[in-house]
């Protein structure tokens, strides 16, 4: 049976994350996987299992999530599948692309690199009002930040390390070694900047903790030269705070040769 790969974007604000959640004694929670899988099943007129590449948390956004499903019948050519699905999907999730892939394609296991972006706006001094219309996509802080110190610290995260200090204590993984290919801090607009990190994979809450640590470096709470010592400590208490989910966006997932420069030409929008 044909297997289809989807590229998916969503505003995670009203979702309980990507992964389908069906509590035994309560109604199913609204998740991206649940909503999209139900629409795909209606479209192909059969039960399907939709596998996603990244289990983003509640409130996290995506413009490059990858999912795949297998089905026997399609009523339209594969290039028109996004149009057919989007006509049935709610406004906060969209299918951007569809293509046929090998029958054994695994969105999780076959992924070679991923990129996340965390967007931060600092509000003062002097005082600027907090973001209004894109408030669900930007974390705002009252602290004035040094991008120079943040960039210095970010460069020390690149490489293969044991990132146990940058994962939630209950991360559930036996192996906490990951490879960071690039970690960049760059301006998007006046007072607004992005922390963009690409790597082989990430632990639970790892990107939000990395972003929180760089934020603490930027405000002078953590020394920019202490990243190596924090990594070596394997102690979560040595790293920075876990920033909230709404500033985080899954940018892209690459298959084949890992993409190592951390930069991708994608459509810029309010969740970029």
Higher pLDDT, 212 or 168: 212
**From-to residues of CATH 3.30.70.580 in the chain:** 3-101
Yes or no: say if 239 and 230 are a contact pair by the CB < 8 Å rule.
yes
**From-to residues of CATH 3.30.70.660 in the chain:** 111-255
Spot the catalytic one: 11, 38, 46, 57.
Answer: 57
Is the omega angle on the peptide bond into residue 126 within 30 degrees of 0, that is, cis? yes
The pLDDT of residue 171 is 63
Q: Which fold has domain 111-255?
A: Alpha-Beta Plaits (3.30.70)
How far apart are the C-alpha atoms of 52 and 80, rounded to whole Å?
20
57 is catalytic: yes
Q: Is the pLDDT of residue 272 over 60?
A: no
3-state helix vs strand vs coil in the chain, percent to 5: 25, 30, 45
% of the chain exceeding 90 in pLDDT: 81
Q: Is the pTM of this model over 0.75?
A: yes
Distance of CA 229 to the CA centre of its chain: 26
Give 240-268 pLDDT, tens digit per residue.
Answer: 999 999 999 999 999 986 655 554 444 44
How far apart are the C-alpha atoms of 173 and 112, rounded to whole Å?
18
Give 116-164 pLDDT, tens digit per residue.
Answer: 999 999 887 666 788 889 999 999 999 989 999 999 999 999 999 999 9
Q: Is the pLDDT of residue 270 over 50?
A: no
Give the CATH class of 3-101: alpha beta
Name residue 32's beta-bridge partners. none
CA angle 237, 223, 205 (to 5 degrees): 40
């Amino acid at each position: 049976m044909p297997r289809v790969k989807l590229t998916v974007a969503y505003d995670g604000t009203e979702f309980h994350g990507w992964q389908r959640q069906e509590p035994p004694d309560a109604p199913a929670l609204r998740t991206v996987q649940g909503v999209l899988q139900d629409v795909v099943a209606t479209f192909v007129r059969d039960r399907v299992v939709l596998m996603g590449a990244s289990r983003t948390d509640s409130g996290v956004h995506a413009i490059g999530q990858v999912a795949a499903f297998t089905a026997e019948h399609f009523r339209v050519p594969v290039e028109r599948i996004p149009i057919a699905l989007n006509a049935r999907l709610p406004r906060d999730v969209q299918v951007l692309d569809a293509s046929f892939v090998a029958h054994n394609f695994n969105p999780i296991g076959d992924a070679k690199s991923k990129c996340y972006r965390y967007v931060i706006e600092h509000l003062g001094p002097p005082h600027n009002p907090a973001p209004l219309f894109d408030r669900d996509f930007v974390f705002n802080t009252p602290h004035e930040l040094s991008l120079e110190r943040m960039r210095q610290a970010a460069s020390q995260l690149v490489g293969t390390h044991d990132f146990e200090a940058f994962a939630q204590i209950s991360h559930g993984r036996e192996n906490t070694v990951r490879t960071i290919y690039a970690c960049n801090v760059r301006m998007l607009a006046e007072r607004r900047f992005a922390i963009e990190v690409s790597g082989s994979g990430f632990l639970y809450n790892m990107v939000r903790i990395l972003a929180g640590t760089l934020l603490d470096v930027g405000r002078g709470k953590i020394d920019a030269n202490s990243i190596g010592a924090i990594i070596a400590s394997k102690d979560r208490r040595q790293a920075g705070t876990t920033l909230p989910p709404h500033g985080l966006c899954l940018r892209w997932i690459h298959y084949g040769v890992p993409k190592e420069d951390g930069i991708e030409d994608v459509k810029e929008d309010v969740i970029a």
